[in-house]
Amino acid sequence: MSRSGHPPGLLAPPSGAALVGRFALSRGRRFAEHVHPTHQLAWAERGVLSISAGDTTWALPPTRALWIPAGVRHTTAAATAAAMHSLYLRSSRVPTAFARPTVLAVTPLLAALIGHLGRAGLGDAERARAEAVLFDQLVPAPVASVELALPRDERARRVADALLADPADDRGVDALARLACTSPRTLHRLFRETTGCGLGEWRLRARMRTALELLATGLPVGVVAHRVGYRTPSAFVAAFRKVLGTTPAQVFGPGGP
């Protein structure tokens, strides 16, 4: 990153609000913690992005993008090989801005506008028209991405680390409480107080985060279901829909952007 917080070699257009950067990222590629003087919209046309700010990480498939307000420190990584588009939006030129990191729905129209605004030699009038439509398309997703906060308590963190290491781990709450050296009731409370959701919901989100990464590699749904702890594809798809509000096919198949 440059001192301005933008990737080297990117220059803001002489007019307009949006600058689009494109990055081909290999799996595991990571931008260290940084901050931008502009708002940022991060989106993966292909693959899955993992973006962290504070204690929270978002796993973002192609149907989701993350709005990152100017001044918010964050890290960006490729959970899988990814084609990332990053919009840098001048604060003074954006009619509506979100005050905190916000997951947005990426419709086919928004995806097309991002690609259009990334074209070289776009005229000022054409850019202005596209940006006006773009701003209308910045809508929070009705169901967000896989948002996962890590517990701050050492006991709960021990359980979280174990579930992230093996998403198919099917130990019940009593066994996990023994791992944490506490009671089931206390373990539930620690997760809710430090992550915003109970142990069961947290485990579901952790499984879906891993599932997104596996699906992006092209693995069949049945294989992914087994690897994240589901006995049948139908049970997995129901859980996926509960978290993301859609099916794996709609996220990564022809119906996606």
More confidently predicted of 93 and 33: 33
- CATH number of the domain encompassing residue 195: 1.10.10.60
Report pLDDT digits (tens) over 51-71: 999 888 999 988 899 999 999
Q: Which residue range is the domain that position 70 belongs to?
A: 18-136
Structural domain includes residue 6: no
Structural domain includes residue 145: no
Structural domain includes residue 144: no
pLDDT of 159 strictly over 60: yes
Split into its structural domains, the chain has a count of 2
Q: DSSP string covering 204-236, please?
A: HHHHHHHHHHHHHTT--HHHHHHHTT-SSHHHH
pLDDT at residue 15, as a whole number: 59
Structural domain includes residue 25: yes
Which class for 72: exposed (0-12), middle (13-18), buried (19 or more C-beta within 10 A)?
A: middle
Tokens of 97: 């801005």
Shared domain for 61 and 126, answered yes or no, is yes
pTM of the model: 0.79
Q: Which of these three, 101, 136, 171, is where a domain ends?
A: 136
Structural domain includes residue 81: yes
User: How far apart, in whole angstroms, are the C-alpha atoms of residue 49 and residue 250?
Assistant: 17
- CATH number of the domain encompassing residue 58: 2.60.120.280
Mean pLDDT of 116-130: 86
pLDDT of 11 strictly over 50: no
User: How far apart, in whole angstroms, are the C-alpha atoms of residue 193 and residue 161?
Assistant: 17
Structural domain includes residue 32: yes
User: How far apart, in whole angstroms, are the C-alpha atoms of residue 8 and residue 210?
Assistant: 31
pLDDT of 8 strictly over 70: no
Shared domain for 130 and 171, answered yes or no, is no
Shared domain for 64 and 97, answered yes or no, is yes
Q: Which of these three, 90, 111, 136, is where a domain ends?
A: 136
Shared domain for 215 and 112, answered yes or no, is no
Of the pLDDT bands very low, low, confident and very high (cuts 50, 70, 90), residue 137 is very high
Shared domain for 126 and 157, answered yes or no, is no
